[in-house]
């Protein structure tokens, strides 16, 4: 008889986050003008504990536009939409977005803190 330890989904993290997939609808030059304000807003959300992760996504296929993914801690689609609209890119109509609810179940991360030089790394 083979015994396996099949994970029980009830034991998994089941942390609900909201993923904002964002796509350009304006020329790159216009988007680049607002990049500093966009990044300032992202750091603000990070410091407030709202931003879980964010960054650009490069497609495998040439010719497809670069996309962005912003993962936020929110209580609802409505709250996530409010957060998304606070992004200067979205507020100015330079990028459009879709919001998905993501139930994070599996995965891990590692944090290394070095006391000797007070450095840290996330892997």
- Domains of the chain in start order, with CATH, are 15-105 (3.30.70.1060)
Q: What is the mean pLDDT of each run of 10 residues along the chain (123 residues)?
A: 72 92 95 97 96 95 91 98 98 98 92 93 88
Residue 62: which residues within 8 A CB-CB, separation 6 or more? Answer: none
pTM score, whole prediction: 0.84
Around Cβ 72, how many Cβ atoms within 10 Å? Answer: 19
Query: Does an H or E element contain 73, and which?
Result: none
């Amino acid at each position: 008889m083979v015994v396996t330890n099949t994970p029980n989904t009830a034991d998994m993290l089941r942390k609900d986050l909201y993923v904002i997939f964002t796509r350009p609808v304006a020329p790159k030059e216009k988007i680049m003008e607002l990049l500093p304000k966009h990044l300032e807003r992202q750091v603000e959300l990070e410091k407030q504990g709202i931003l879980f992760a964010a960054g650009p996504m490069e497609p495998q296929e040439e010719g497809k536009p670069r996309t962005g993914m912003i993962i936020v801690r929110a209580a609802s689609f409505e709250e996530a939409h409010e957060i998304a609209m606070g992004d200067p890119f979205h507020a100015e109509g330079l990028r459009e977005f879709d919001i998905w609810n993501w139930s994070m179940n599996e995965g891990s991360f590692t944090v290394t803190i070095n006391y000797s030089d007070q450095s840290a790394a996330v892997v």
